[in-house]
Amino acid sequence: MSPMASETLSPTDFVALDGNAAGGLLRQLFVFDVTVARVVCSGCRSSHLLAALKLYGHPMGSILRCPDCHATLVRVVAHEPEYWLDMRGVESLHVSLP
């Protein structure tokens, strides 16, 4: 199948998404669904569920930003089979496992 072959490729669909949509990507790295974790932003110390962070998808990787101060909390680059994860913007991560 080569559906994209004849198309002009734009960098993104200009879609505004949140952390819910990063669930599949992050599930490659975590043994549980990390979108239900509560994360604290190291920039402004506000806390949000990861599902509620703003997701910016780029060809080079995905970025999750704080909805309050827009600091970068999580960066993921997937270049199968290699993954690169930067979570330095997350001060802490709290999850309730079943």
DSSP H/E element including 54: strand 54-58
| Interface characters, 53-82, with other proteins (x: CB under 8 A) | -x----------------------------
Q: What are phi and psi of 21, to 5 degrees?
A: -75, -10
Q: Does an H or E element contain 21, and which?
A: none
Question: Which of 50, 77, 79 minimizes the C-alpha distance to 66?
Answer: 50
Give the span between the Cα atoms of 7 and 4, in whole angstroms: 5
Place of tokens 């960098």: 11
CB of 66 to other proteins, least distance (A): 14
Q: What part of residues 22-51 is at the interface with other proteins (CB under 8 A)? A: 23-25, 27-28, 31-33, 35-38, 40, 45, 47, 49, 51
Min dist. Cβ of residue 37 to other proteins (A): 6
Kindly list the residues in this chain that would bind other proteins in the complex (CB under 8 A): 1-5, 7, 9-10, 12-18, 20-21, 23-25, 27-28, 31-33, 35-38, 40, 45, 47, 49, 51-52, 54, 91-92, 94-98
